[in-house]
Amino acid sequence: MNVPTAQQIIVMGASAGGVNAILELASVLPRDFPAPVLFVQHIGAHPSELWKLVSARGPNKAVTAADGDLPRPGMIHIAPPDHHMLLEENVIRLSRGPKEHHARPAIDPLFRSAALQYGPRVIGVVLTGMLDDGSAGLRAIKRCGGTAVVQDPADAFAPSMPQSALACVAADHVVPLAALGPLLYELASRPAPALPVPFDPPATLQQEHAVTLGQHPVENLRAISQPSIFSCPDCSGVLSELNDRHPVRFLCHTGHAFSLRSLAHAQEQVTDAAVWSSLRALQEKEMLLRRLAQVHGPQLQQHGRAALREADELASICAMLRKLIEKTPDPGDFNASA
């Protein structure tokens, strides 16, 4: 494990409400902020010019991270669309590796890689958002001696992510957004904590990170997990349940990762698509049967009547199935209530 530079580093992540949060934070961070800030916002593959908005809001420059960038004090590095942002060999690495929590960029990969590289010199920050991306990553930071900061859920636009983080991690600081800037400045201005010699992070974290990077995935996954009965919503492979159950998480050998909550949300979306596809197939069969009855005409009345009877039965089934689908909770309802 390479020894990181002597400076501290701040990693933070957000989902719903995160754009407003980072803009507000950027406006209060003082010029020449003493540590690099790496920020992940759930934006998927959509084009983004968030860096322009952040740069315009405060005195510290913001950039869309590029592969090979050196994290610099006073700079806000923002994960680009559809890429995980990682730390490796003291530089930023970008990856289109497997999604985590059905997201890319995701927060956990950044937090986990920062913990493995910087240990006690990492300050991890979980901001507003849905579900629980960031919880496992923040726990990794704590396990490696870093500092855990969580936005007060009562102050968050979407309290789920902060609540989940607090359920998994004994946070060092829980503050409203208005107090976060001064707190981060105070923490970043302190002398960087000494690194253990040698710096040897928990083996389970290193093995989990190796799986997500595609390094001996089967062997490493076997060492840290047990096979589950669930399949991966992203690749249909078998999911394994990690032995570390704080929080309960699942990983497939290709590297797709889910918490129990994000897996439930992803499966809800898969189920929603599947039942609508089933309804479409049944409706198409009904229409084909009616067309067959029409084509048979008076010469094949028996076959035509049979086709019409089956079509009528399918119409009844389709009506009942549609009512059941419309009563099924929407995936967004689960997300909002989580």
Instruction: Please tell me whether the peptide bond between 109 and the residue prior to it is cis, using omega within 30 degrees of 0.
Output: no
Instruction: State the sign of the Cα–Cα–Cα–Cα dihedral 217, 219, 224, 230.
Output: positive
List pLDDT tens digits, range 114-163. 999 999 999 999 999 999 999 999 999 999 999 999 999 999 999 999 99
Task: State pTM to two decimals.
Answer: 0.84
* Residues 258 and 231 sit within 8 Å (Cβ to Cβ): no
Number of C-beta neighbours around residue 65 at 10 A = 25
Catalytic positions are 15, 42, 133
What are the residue ranges spanned by the domains of the chain? Answer: 9-189, 203-255, 263-337
205: which 2 tokens? 């974290």
Residue 299's pLDDT is what? 57
Please state, in angstroms and rounded to a whole number, the distance separating the CA atoms of residues 110 and 79.
9
pLDDT tens track of the chain, all 338 residues? 444 555 899 999 999 999 999 999 999 999 989 999 999 999 988 899 999 999 999 999 999 999 999 999 999 999 999 999 999 988 999 999 999 999 999 999 999 999 999 999 999 999 999 999 999 999 999 999 999 999 999 999 999 999 999 999 999 999 999 999 999 999 999 998 888 888 889 999 999 999 999 999 999 999 999 999 999 988 989 999 999 888 999 999 999 999 999 998 888 777 777 788 888 898 999 899 888 888 766 655 677 778 888 889 999 998 988 888 777 665 554 444 33
Strand partners, 94: 85
Instruction: State the sign of the Cα–Cα–Cα–Cα dihedral 207, 208, 213, 215.
Output: positive
CATH 1.10.357.10 fits 9-189, yes or no: no
Residue 270's pLDDT is what? 74
List pLDDT tens digits, range 152-200. 999 999 999 999 999 999 999 999 999 999 999 999 999 988 888 888 8
Residue 196's pLDDT is what? 80
List pLDDT tens digits, range 195-213. 888 888 999 999 999 999 9
